[in-house]
Structure 1
Amino acid sequence: MAKLIILGAGESGVGAALLGKQQGYEVFVSDGGPIKDIYKHELTAHAIEFEESQHSWERILAADEIVKSPGIPEKSEVMKKIRATNISVISEIELAWRYSKDAKIIAITGSNGKSTTTALTYHIFHNAGLPVAMVGNIGISYAKQVATDPQEYYVIEISSFQLDDIKDFRPHVAILLNITPDHLDRYNYKMEHYVASKFRIAMNQVAGDYFIYCKDDPEIMNYLKNHSIHSTLIPFTIMEPLKEGGSMTNDQINITVNGDTEIVSMYDLALKGKHNIYNSMAAGIAGRTMNIRKEKIRESLASFKSLEHRMEFVATVRGVDFINDSKATNVNSVWFALESIENRPIILIMGGVDKGNDYSAIRELVKERVKAIICLGVDNQPIQDALGKEVATMISTSSMEDAVKAAFQQSNKGDVVLLSPACASFDLFKNYEDRGRKFKEVVREL
């Protein structure tokens, strides 16, 4: 019986363990930190051995194959020891794909908009009556879905970390939304390494597959100039008309696949803002590659409800709107958030664990649209240094209660208080969901 070691017992690790057990592997789960009770119960219920807050080296290094959690960096002690051996290391995405090759896979990556586009694509497929699951970085893990409730279609949100450890994973449709600096600490601060990681989504594709990409993204276009993709390329753009792909004329979105065009009015889209035109185009093209009827796509693009923690309206308090964009963990996401709020003064709550952010990308928009910045985090200095001169008021806080109260004090009727942190959340919160929920709780108590 082949020995499968799972490193990390989060959603993806536990999903990989369930699938490994189901497929007849001898499975052992090892996590260097504590394991959440919910996952411990799941592993115990399936009689899967595990350890927490330690690594049993002898057992790990006797593995036939290792599934690595996307959260474990290559420079960690555990990965250095494993890389010194010849043991195969794969991601949970790779393991899940092995046992779902007959399904149609629609995989979505990009620095920003992944979750929204994944949820929107799933909404289109689900509305069309197809047997589809939404998995990956959103919802349950791909491996757990394959193990417990296999489907004919999978719409998968995939991060660069998950792509780093694929070998044969091949999506029928790959979507690359954009590439902006993010997680560079994991890529030796080299943008070209991060770009190459994102493009791994298409590395095993063949002629009958589709690669859907943003023609307006300079990093994507630069890479395509120097590298070949073997699948059918379908671009989308808002800058010029296209014979094939997604484009705009006046206020209409045109989605053309195999010469057949679907037209959707920009005003009918459920999601507003320029970035969501891109997301809607990408999802619409994915639907057309799978021959989903045009009216179903049009109807789905109009009826979609946005995600929790992504430009989520929370409440209006004394004429001030509060918006939760806790999922904005990089500077570019904040740019999109600011860009989508027009003609209203913004009080911006931002800060957290800085991943080496370059705030210059949002300087102009901050100057133009933000009247106050409320810093929320353990180290707010980088934000103060970069954006202090662009706003009349900057206040440092170290709890969500203080941040929301300070923002409310700075606001007037008609203003928007926007939580869009640009940073990871691990200094004060468990994750971005915890941060977003705390924001909503405090706002509702005002």
Structure 2
Amino acid sequence: MFNKVLIANRGEIALRILRACRELGIPTVAVHSTADEMAMHVRLADESVCIGPPPSRDSYLNIHQIVAACEITGADAVHPGYGFLSENAKFAEILEAHNITFIGPTSDHINIMGDKIEAKRTAEKLGIPVVPGSDGGVSDKNEAKRIAQEIGYPVIIKATAGGGGRGMKVAKNEAELSNALDTARREAEAAFGNAEVYIEKYLGKPRHIEIQVVGDGNGKAIHLGERDCSLQRRHQKVWEEANSPALNSEQRHEIGMICANAVAKLGYRGAGTIEFLYEDGEFYFIEMNTRLQVEHPITEAITGIDLVHEQLRVASGAGLSVTQDEIKFNGHAIECRLNAEHHRTFVPSPGTITHYHAPGGLGVRVDSGVYAGYSIPPYYDSLIGKLIVHGRNRLECMMRLRRALDELVIDGINTTVPLFQELIDSPDIANGDYDIHWLEHYLAAKEQ
């Protein structure tokens, strides 16, 4: 397969990739900033290279330093994980120029799906249902008014290069449209260096459903079912489920095959996730992420397929390990994102973990690089781990999650664990009756 894989990331995902490589007998190289010298993935990798000071731009986003680390160690492949350089087409191109395999899609596919307008056009051509909206970027206010009148209010304005909710504004009527357009453009320029925005129909109470796909780059592809990521705060996912409580097996099969056939036609290579808003039985494409997702473990739990293994196989030219007919869905899985944040204010809580105990038992998995005595640096995302539980059905899964949360100990810092202990007692959550706005309404009510 590969002689040596360099992991261009940090934290739990770096450790996750390291474990997959070790299972396949592939030596690993960990890169790290000076702030991550004692990180678990650095301690467990076969080799490690310091690539710079704490700021991401000087280390984990420093392409030249990462390429130099490959050359120093002899790594012939790079796994980017998620975030950082995982969807950077320039990075993929530079690695290719140095005869280093990028464990992900081609730079062309990263570019297509990284531009929200081009991604929507491509999805429509491939037969994926899309949200009604503008055909391209919109800057003229009169044009914006015309489009909004055609598709009907409310509308949402989004940055073409956007993500994470930045450069995104809702206009409920024509009076709000002008200001929303200006604000979205300013935010987009500040966040992404690109002020271009587009307009779509705003759906009132949708769910966020995503389909996991894997392509071999040669016209074959599979889907691994859906994940429901509707429990969000400020467009950031908090709790994910597979399968979705809102879909039945026929809907799952239909949208899954639409996505698998689309990425096969595209000649897509590697793992990817096609994301939809789902309302009143209809799916509306919003974007495709051309990388491994944070929530991939719940898909692994219900299918028994290791997605990082598949990424490594496909990138090496070995092809997919399974066909669509061989994929079976088993039970239900839930993931809770463990963030070093206060569970009410969501203020980040870097610091030293004084005591740590991970829950165990049948159907319980914890993906985390933390340990007692580990100091969480203040420079990066607050995600410090993921609690994943699997059961034969959703009820068993929820009961197992309750037990696992009660067992989990992370002392010395604030975490979001108390939030999940609250959510599991909510009748709406118990019934699977929620949409993408539910959590923010719940939190707002708690503040009153």
Tell me the TM-score normalized by structure 2.
Answer: 0.29
Larger relative CO (CA 8 A, sep 6+): 1 or 2?
2
Tell me the TM-score normalized by structure 1.
Answer: 0.30
